[in-house]
Amino acid sequence: MNNLPIHSLLPSLRDAFATHAQVILEAPTGAGKSTALPLAMLDWAEISGRILMLEPRRVAARSVAQFIASCRQQAVGQEVGFRVRGEAKVSRDTRLEIVTEGILTRMIQQDPELTGIDMIIFDEIHERHLTTDLGLALALEVQSSLRDDLKILAMSATLSGLALSELMPYAALLKSEGRTFPVEIIYRAVAGQQHWLDHLSRTVLDSAASITDSGPQDILVFLPGKAEILRVAQYLAERLDGSRVAICPLYGELSAQEQDRAIKADASGRRKIVLSTNVAESSLTIEGIGLVIDSGYKRQASFNPKTGVTRLSLKRISQASATQRAGRAGRLAAGVCIRLWGQEEHQRLLKADEPEISQADLVSMAHDCAYWGAKSFSDLLLLTAPPSVNEALAWQLLRRLDVVDGQNKLTAHGKAAYELGCHPRLAHMLLAAKSHSTELAALACLLAGILEARGLPRKGADIMNYLHFATQGSAGQQAKQWLRKLALDSKFTQADLGAIASHAHHRDVGLLLALAYPDRIAKSRGVEGYQLANGTGVVLSAEDALAQTPWLVVADFQETEGKTAGRVYLACPLQPSLFDHELADLVDTHEQCGWDETKGRAVAERQAKVGQILLKSETIANPNRAQIVAALVNYIRQQGLQILNWNANLEQFQARLHLARSLDPTADWPDMSDAALLADLETWLAPYLENVNNLPQLQKLDCFSLVMNQLSWSQQQALDALLPTSWPLATGTFAPIVYETSGRALLRVRLQETFGMADSPLLAQGKLKVTMELLSPAQRPLALTADLASFWQGPYVEVKKEMRGRYPKHLWPDDPANTLPTKFTKKKTLGLSQS
C-alpha cells in the first residue's frame, strides 16, 4: 500500500486542503485513490470528524470497506464501515463510512448540516451515475450555504470531457500517476455468422486451457448482464474440471457472500474464472486476475419519454470503459486483454459513456429536489442538465401522485412519501392504502416487496401469482420493512401476512396498482393488445391467463427494439367500477368538439377519460359558439392551411419574412411559417370565425389579409423597403421579384428592358443581390445571372448572335450597358425617339 502512486501526492493533498475547501483529483487506475488515500486520511490530525466516501456500486463499497478495515486490523463496522441499501455496518466508532445507492443524498436531506462529518469523497465520479451527480450538487450547496468548513474531494480516473472545474472553479486541481503493469491488447472479432456469446464462450474455454499454476492467471470476463453470465457459466461448467477451476459469477443481485467469493482468492486454491457485469470495471480489485476477456457490451437502461418506461438494451461500451476493463488485467503483473471486436470498430466507439442523467427516469430525482426545496433541476449545481422532456414528465407524475403541488412544491403527502425511502409510486400506494385500512396497507407492503424484488421466478403476468414470495426471503424482508415504516409491524404476524397473500382479491390488488401506476391503467383494444392511459400500446403473451382481460393495471412492461408495443411482465385485472368511487380522482371530464366532414358542421360531446383512455361519452345537442370555433380551429390544424382561401401572395409573403428574419434579425420579425401559423390559429384566425358555421363560409374569409395584418403598418412598410415585391425599371415596368425558399431573390424581365443597367439590383440594404432571369421578346428564358455586368461582357455576345436571327425586329446592341432600355421593336422604339 505504501508504494502506491497516491502516497507521493499525500503531502500536496494535505496542503491543498489547508487552503481550499474543494479539491479535484485525477488519478488513473491503480493509483490507490479508493483505498490508500482514505486509509491515510484516517491518520490526518486535521480531520477530527467522520469521512464519507461515495462509491457508485454496492459491490465496491463493501469490498473497499473490508479491505481498509483489514489494513487497520479491525472488523468492518468499527473504525471503517459501509452503508448500502438494505445493509449497514457502522457504529459510534466509525470514522470512515463508505456509502452508495443514494445513501449520501438521504443523509444530506435528513441533516443538511452533516453534523460530525468533515470530509466527503466522491470516488469514480467519471462514471456519471445519477446518484453521484445529485449527491455532489447537494454537497456543494451544503458547503456554500451551511458548512464552509466542509471539505469535498472529487476523484476521477480521467477529467476528459468532465466539466468538474466549471462546477467547482475554486477547487485545487491535483493529478496522480496510475499504477498498472503493461497489458497486451488482442483483438479477436466474431467471425462470420457466429453469435458473439458463442464466440466469447469458446474464447474463455480456450483461454482456461492455458492457465498455469504460477503468476496471476485468473480470468475476468466482462458480460452485459445476469442472463449472459448464467449462460456462459453453464457452458463452462459442463466442459471444465471443477476441482481445478472455480467459475464465479459477479453481478448486483448476488448475496454479499457470493460476491466475496468472486473477489477473493479461491479457498481451495483453484484458478478462478470471474464472469462479471461492469461492476468490476473500477474501484474493485479482484485478486489474481491476469487475463481479461471483454465482450464489449453492456446492458444500458434508457428512459423513453414517449412511453414512460425504461428500456434495457444491449449497447457497445465506450473507449474509456474498454480502457478501464483492460486495466483490470494489469493490477498485479503484466497481463493480457482479449477484446472480442475489431481494432477498426474500436476507433468508432464513443469516447466516453453518456451521463446517466441524460437517459434516466427522473421521477425519484425530482422527488429529491422537491424535498430539498428545489422546484426545478436548474436550481441545483449539476454537472449536466437533464433533457427537459424527461424532467417535465417527472414533475407531471409527482403532481398526479399528489407528491408536489402545481408549483412543484412538496406537499405533506410528498414529505411522508419521501421519508418512506422508496420510489414515489410505491410510497404513494403505501400511504394511500394505510389511509384506507390496515389490511389494505399490509397487502400494499406485500406488493411493494414484489415490485422491488429481483430474480423472482417467472409465473405469468398476473402479480397475484407472486404474492406468496413476498412473505419470505428478501422480498419478505422488504415487505416487513414497509410495515415497520408504516408503524404496522406489531399488527401482523408472519401467519397474518400469509393469510393476506392467500386471500387477496383482484379488486384490491388492482386498486393498489392503479394508485402506484395511474399512467399504466390499460384497456383492451379489442383486436390485439392494450392501450395504456399514457397512450402507449402494450401486448400480453397470447398464452397468458390475463390475455382476454378487458381492463388491466400494468406494473412492469418492457420495450423491445423493432417492436411497436411493449411486452407486459406484471399486471393485474382492474374493475372499471373503481372509477366511480375509489379511483374517481383519476377521471377527467371535459367537453370535446370536432368537425364532422359528413355533416359539414361542428359536433360536440362530453367525455370522461382516464389519461388517454375514453371511459364514456355523451353527445352535446347544441354546441356553443366557443365550441364551434374550437372545432374549426382543430379541423384546420388536422387538414392544414391549404383548406383556407389563400391569396397567391401568401407564399411570397412567408418567404420574404423568413428572409428578413435572417438578413435583419434586430428588427424582431415574427415567424409566419405554416407551422407557426397553425400553432397560433387562436390569435390570428379564431376572432374572425364568430359568424362561420361551415366550410364554404370559412373559404370566403380573406385569410391572406388576416395574416399580413399581423404585422404593424410600420413593419409592413419596412418589409416592402427591405424586400420589395417588384423592381421599377427605366421603361416604366415594375418587374416582379420572386423570393425562393433557398433565400434567392429572382427578377424575371425581358432582356431589352435591362439595357443601360450596369449591374444586378441590390436588396436588403445591399445584403442581397438579385438574380436576374433575362427573357426573350417571347418571354422565354435566355440567361440566369446574379452578375449583370459580367453577363454583358461575356455570355451576352453569344445570346446576341443567336437572337438577332430569331428576333430581327428587336434591338440587340453591341454595347447594351450604354443603350437605352425599351419594351418595343426597333421600328417602334425609333418612332418613339423621333417623336
DSSP one-letter string for 452-463: H--SPPP--SBG
Query: Is residue 327 scored above 90 in pLDDT?
Result: no
pLDDT in tens, 180-191: 788 999 999 998
Mean pLDDT of the chain: 88
pLDDT, tens digit, for every residue of 356-372?
999 899 999 999 999 99
Closest CA to 174 of 384, 363, 5: 5
Long-range (24+ apart) CB contacts under 8 A made by 471-474 are 471/446, 471/497, 471/498, 471/501
State residue 157's pLDDT score.
80
Q: Which residue ranges make up each domain of the chain?
A: 5-175, 183-357, 724-834
Euclidean distance between CA atoms 258 and 191, whole angstroms: 34
Whether 833 shows a pLDDT value over 60: the answer reads: no
- Phi/psi for 570 (5° steps) reads -140, 130
Question: Rounded CA gap, 735 and 718, in Å?
Answer: 20
DSSP state, residue 770:
P
Provide CB contacts within 8 A for 759, sequence distance 6+: 787, 788, 789
Distance CA 289, CA 273 (A): 9
Res 804 pLDDT > 60: yes
pLDDT band at 85 (very low <50, low <70, confident <90, very high): confident
Give DSSP secondary structure letters for 719-736. Answer: HHHHS-SEEE-TTS-EEE
Per-residue exposure over 269-281, b if at least 16 CB sit within 10 Å of its own CB, e if not: ebbbbbbbbbbbb
Nearest to 132 by CA among 161, 115, 148, 156: 156
Residue 412 has pLDDT above 70, yes or no: yes
Give the integer Cα–Cα distance in Å for 553 and 508.
12
pLDDT recorded at residue 215: 53
Per-residue pLDDT band at 19 (split at 50, 70, 90)? very high
Residue 214 has pLDDT above 60, yes or no: no
What local confidence, expressed as pLDDT, does residue 235 receive? Answer: 94
- Report CA torsion sign: 194, 200, 203, 205: negative
pLDDT in tens, 518-538: 999 999 987 778 999 988 888
CA 328 vs CA 188, 225, 266, 274: distances in Å: 18, 18, 18, 12
Name beta bridge partners: 36: none
> How far apart are the C-alpha atoms of 220 and 289, rounded to whole Å?
6
pLDDT tens profile 690-711: 888 888 888 888 888 888 888 9
Predicted confidence at residue 212, as pLDDT, reads 61
- Pick from 289-298, 518-527, 604-613, 806-815: least confident: 806-815
* Confidence at 427, pLDDT banded by 50, 70, 90: very high
**Residue 576: burial class (beta carbons within 10 Å; 0-12, 13-18, 19+):** middle
pLDDT at residue 102 tops 90? no
Quote the CA–CA distance of 553 and 549 in Å, as a whole number. Answer: 11
Percent of the chain with pLDDT over 70: 97
Same fold, 5-175 and 183-357: yes
- How far is the CA of 131 from the CAs of 137, 173, 366, in angstroms? 10, 23, 12
CA dist 293 → 16, 214, 276, 347 (Å) = 40, 20, 10, 19
> Is 68 exposed, middle or buried, given 0-12, 13-18 or 19+ CB atoms closer than 10 A?
buried
Looking at residues 57-68, what average pLDDT do you find? 88
Could you give phi then psi for residue 706, rounded to 5 degrees?
A: -60, -40
> What band does 596 get if pLDDT is binned at 50, 70 and 90?
confident
Chain-centre distance of CA 639, in angstroms?
Answer: 32
Contact criterion met (CB below 8 Å) for 356 and 128: yes
Cβ proximity of 792 and 814 under 8 Å: no
CATH number of this structure's domain 5-175 = 3.40.50.300
| DSSP helix/strand/coil, 832 | helix
Using only the alpha carbons of the chain, give its radius of gyration. Answer: 37
Query: Which CATH code, of 3.40.50.300, 3.30.1280.10, 3.50.50.60, 3.20.20.140, is assigned to 183-357?
Result: 3.40.50.300
Query: Looking at per-residue confidence, does 455 or 764 come out higher?
Result: 764
Distances (CA, A) of 74 to 59, 80, 87, 99: 20, 8, 19, 19
Task: Specify whether the CB–CB gap between 642 and 628 falls below 8 A.
Answer: no
| pLDDT for residue 605 is more than 60 | yes
